[in-house]
């Protein structure tokens, strides 16, 4: 499989001022595979250490080291390989299992910057915010998300189609793209699920794998949180389909539990955000002021799931509904389409906007421009809210994602949902 984030890894590799790299991402999005593939393709060799499975002797190296060079020598002797500056990639996986390994990143940064270190771990985001000793300012960060629709198309053997569309800047073979979109909405972007789908095309097997991933997430709640917090995390987790079913302008605590209050569930929600399982999109109070995050409403937000395929399974949406003419987009008041778009845009500077009687699905900051984004689940593209926003703030460009063909009219760009990857051409 091809992961587009490898381009960012190559930029990190070439950066003269690089620091040890922390690769964040939810469980099972492919962090370990990507780092190994990166080491295999772009280094003379790599040394991979999984801290949860490593021999006690290896863990002890990190507990007792007195210098970075001494630690490197111990690792060289144990793994019978030479660790060369700039030529060897050191991969520390599940690094949260050995806190001293996290601490070592500071000393690699300060005393041995010529060595290339990349680390990852399940739910590592939780440990970064839990008060665990962490080398703040001494590491670089990247985040790996589930496979995008573009990556799904590449894995499906449609590289030539993608290349042609990008070069000609026009959408071709709509029927092929629509078919793959239906598959993606069912399968999602978790690498194990995608690989199995491309190999077997068995819907029952896909459901089983997705169930296993969801179960692993649920098991993490009790493993990494106290009993009371674990219960609340699961309540929020299981409420997500109900949140989607009710078209609200913000997350509703009453849909988690009758009578629930924000202060009871703030920690649970933050746990899910830090674990990469949900994404929080806040409301923005102004649609014409930069930076947008300075105007976000801390008390009004929506939660979206890490992966549309996993959400489909969590919500119990059948394969028949997905495969039948984009019928899935009509479920949950069109919010499935929003989930899909958000997962593809993958930006940290994204919000939503509400007026007195209107709501724009997403508002995105790109450098010094603010771009409103409307998501439509079909070909009926009347958008009163977007019109109101444009009249109020007069943005340079507005974007609408729908099932209509590509068109640009009076500052409004329509991009077909099945060709959403051409959105990158705007960047």
Q: Which residue has the tokens 């997962």?
A: 343
pLDDT the model gives residue 333: 62
What CA–CA distance (Å, rounded) separates 111 from 69? Answer: 9
User: Whole-number mean pLDDT of the chain?
Assistant: 90
- In this structure, the chain runs to a length of 427
Name which of 381, 277, 280, 372 is nearest 329 in CA terms: 381
Please state the pTM of the whole predicted model: 0.92
pLDDT digits (tens, 9 = 90+) for 105-159: 999 999 999 999 999 988 877 766 555 567 878 999 999 999 999 999 999 999 9
pLDDT digits (tens, 9 = 90+) for 239-278: 999 998 877 789 999 999 999 999 999 999 999 999 999 9
What CA–CA distance (Å, rounded) separates 410 from 413? Answer: 8
Strand partners, 144: none
**DSSP character at residue 17:** T
For the chain, what is the radius of gyration of the CA atoms? 23
Structure token digits, residue 264: 């009871």
Q: Is residue 412 within 8 Å of 398, Cβ to Cβ? A: yes
Q: Is residue 376 within 8 Å of 402, Cβ to Cβ? A: yes
Name which of 315, 349, 357 is nearest 333 in CA terms: 315
Residue 66: pLDDT band (50, 70, 90) is confident
Query: Regarding predicted confidence, which is higher, 103 or 233?
Result: 233
What CA–CA distance (Å, rounded) separates 404 from 101? Answer: 51
pLDDT the model gives residue 324: 66
User: Strand 412-416's sheet: what is its strand order?
Assistant: 296-305, 278-284, 350-354, 359-366, 369-375, 398-402, 412-416, 407-409
pLDDT the model gives residue 173: 83
Contacts of 362 (CB under 8 A, 6+ apart): 281, 338, 341, 342, 345, 350, 351, 352, 372, 373, 375
- Range(s) within the chain of domains with CATH label 3.40.50.300: 6-143
Q: What is the mean pLDDT of residues 228-243?
A: 95
Task: Count Cβ atoms within 10 A of the Cβ of residue 48 and give its class: 0-12 exposed, 13-18 middle, 19 or more buried.
Answer: middle
**DSSP character at residue 148:** P
What CA–CA distance (Å, rounded) separates 404 from 413? Answer: 11
pLDDT the model gives residue 378: 67
DSSP, residue by residue, 117-133: EEEE-TTHHHHHTTT--
pLDDT digits (tens, 9 = 90+) for 8-54: 999 999 999 999 999 999 999 999 999 999 999 999 999 999 998 88
Residue 4: pLDDT band (50, 70, 90) is very high
pLDDT the model gives residue 116: 98
* Superfamily of domain covering 6-143: P-loop containing nucleotide triphosphate hydrolases (3.40.50.300)
């Amino acid at each position: 499989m091809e992961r587009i984030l490898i381009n960012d890894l190559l930029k990190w590799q070439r950066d003269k001022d690089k620091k040890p790299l922390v690769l964040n991402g939810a469980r099972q999005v492919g962090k370990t595979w990507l780092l190994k593939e990166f080491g295999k393709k772009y280094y003379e060799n790599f040394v991979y250490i999984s801290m949860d499975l490593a021999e006690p002797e290896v863990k002890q190296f990190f507990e007792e080291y007195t210098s970075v060079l001494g630690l490197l020598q111990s690792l060289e002797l144990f793994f019978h390989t030479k660790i060369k500056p700039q030529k060897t990639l050191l991969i520390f996986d599940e690094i949260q299992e050995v806190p001293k390994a996290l601490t070592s990143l500071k000393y690699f940064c300060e005393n041995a910057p010529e060595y290339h270190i990349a680390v990852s771990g399940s739910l590592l985001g939780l440990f970064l915010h839990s008060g665990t000793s962490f080398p703040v300012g001494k590491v670089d960060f990247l985040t790996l998300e589930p496979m995008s629709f573009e990556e799904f198309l590449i894995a499906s053997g449609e590289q030539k189609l993608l290349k042609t569309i990008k070069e000609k800047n026009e959408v071709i073979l709509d029927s092929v793209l629509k078919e793959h979109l239906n598959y993606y909405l069912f399968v999602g972007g978790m690498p194990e699920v995608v690989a199995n789908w491309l190999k077997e095309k068995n819907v029952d097997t896909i459901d089983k794998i997705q169930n296993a991933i969801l179960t692993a997430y649920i098991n993490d709640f009790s493993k990494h949180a106290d009993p009371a917090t674990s219960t609340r995390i699961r309540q929020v987790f299981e409420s997500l389909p109900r949140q989607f079913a009710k078209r609200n302008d913000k997350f509703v605590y009453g849909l988690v539990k009758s009578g629930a209050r924000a202060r009871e569930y703030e920690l649970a929600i933050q746990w899910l955000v830090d674990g990469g399982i949900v994404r929080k999109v806040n409301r923005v109070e102004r649609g014409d002021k930069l930076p947008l995050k300075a105007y976000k409403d801390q008390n009004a937000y929506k939660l979206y799931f890490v992966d549309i395929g996993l959400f489909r399974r969590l919500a119990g949406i059948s394969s028949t509904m997905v495969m039948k003419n984009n019928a899935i987009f009509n479920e949950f008041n069109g919010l499935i389409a929003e989930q899909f778009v958000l997962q593809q845009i993958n930006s940290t500077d994204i919000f939503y906007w509400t007026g007195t009687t209107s709501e724009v699905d997403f508002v995105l900051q790109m450098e010094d421009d603010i771009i409103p984004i409307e998501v439509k689940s079909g070909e009926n593209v009347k958008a009163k809210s977007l019109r109101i926003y444009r009249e109020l703030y007069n943005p340079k460009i507005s974007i609408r994602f729908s099932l209509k063909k590509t068109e640009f009219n009076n500052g409004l760009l329509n991009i077909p949902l099945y060709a959403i990857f051409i959105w990158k051409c705007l960047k």
